[in-house]
Amino acid sequence: MGRGGSLFSSESVTCGHPDKLCDAISDTIVDACLKIDPDARVAVETLVKGMRDKSVIMLAGEVTISSNPPNYEQLARDAASEIGYNNHKIGMDATSQQLCDVQVNITTQAANIAQGVDRDGAGDQGIMFGFACKETERFSDLEGRYFPLAAALSQRVTRRLRIVRELPEDDSSYLGWARPDGKSQVTVEYDANGTPSRVHTVIVAIQHDSNLKDRFDGDEVQEHAFIKSEIIEHVIRDAIPSELLDENTIFTVNGTGRFADPAGPYADAGLTGRKVIVDTYGGMGRHGGGAFSGKDPSKVDRSAAYAARWAAKHVVAAGLADRCEIQLAYVIGVAEPVSIRVETFDTSVIPEDEIAEKIKQVFDFTPRAIIVALDLLRPIYSSTASGGHFGRTPGVDGEFPWEVLDAQLIEALST
């Protein structure tokens, strides 16, 4: 990213995208189990598919809980309905027993896995990455995120796509014709120093009311022009700082011309954990491969990825580097990470090995210590299911304790 005019793109998807619908259902189940038993072990996958006559939600996985489990079927229906899937004509009616089947295939956690976790070891082998950078810190609307700019902006666009659907009908930004399913993609242009200079392209796909064209006497060209104008005005310009948009910014909305009902699960099957790059750093930071949603915090796929992000964000906030990526590696049943690696991409003010030593002294990456430090045995995961797990505003977007900067930890890293 050192050449003038170089570009980097990241995408995001809305809460009603079929894969994100599955993430939401899985994380709703995680939260419900943790409400009953903070030490519950949960690993639940969801699959959704809409068909012409009815839709199906399939739940599969393992739950070990100290009391009676929650009603998994009702949780799945409620999560899908809350997102907006309460009408078969748009892609799914999760409220209807006749129009939506829910299949539950959930057993208890395997004994050999439980044995390793019970002694505070990692629930599985694997590698996890955490990343932070200063790209967002030049913009007041984004300050404090320490996050890749393209990812931050694409996530803001998709979160805004939900907001405009749920505003009061008398609000000038209310888009009642918009549906839950959608995507965004933002391309950022960098100057010769590798600093973000402007937004080059914004792409939005938003499902819409199939009858919207009737406002324009059936003219789909006019319908498309209307949708594009409304999305630019009420979504893009609200989500992206004005100083990043100029007369040369390219806006593409519903590039095929129409994205009408039915869509969502009817147009594309969904599956938990299929949007891991959307969930993390938009491709700028690496990903270890393990999904987050549907897993309780004993799974290091989730908790260690959160801890690595937490530590990387503190490294950058402490001024030790402009960019920091931390890799953690674990073996099943063992508490201490096999390895801890720090990469600062030639932006650090001290050698990377010194930063690594500081991190090891300040942060404890054993699973139990991560859970305690971030207070993870709480029902805080539903809000992570869409809009990104990182770069969020803690206490506003949801709890997101791994996004909270601790002044004492910053001081400890700085000394």
What is the set of active-site residues?
A: 17, 19-20, 45, 62, 183, 259, 268-269, 274-275, 295, 299, 301
- List, in order, residues 6 or more apart from 96 with CB less than 8 Å away: 88
Residue of 170, 173, 165, 379 lying closest to 264 (CA atoms): 165
Beta strand 100-107 with 55-64 is: parallel
Which residue has tokens 């270890």?
Answer: 288
CA distance 329 to 16: 33
Distance of CA 15 to the CA centre of its chain: 9
Which amino acid, 101? D
Residue 55 contacts residue 93 (beta carbons within 8 Å): yes
Distance of alpha carbon 26 from alpha carbon 295, whole angstroms: 8
Give 315's contacts (C-beta < 8 A, 6+ positions apart). 132, 321, 324, 326, 342, 344, 355, 359, 413
Query: 183 with 204: CB under 8 angstroms?
Result: yes
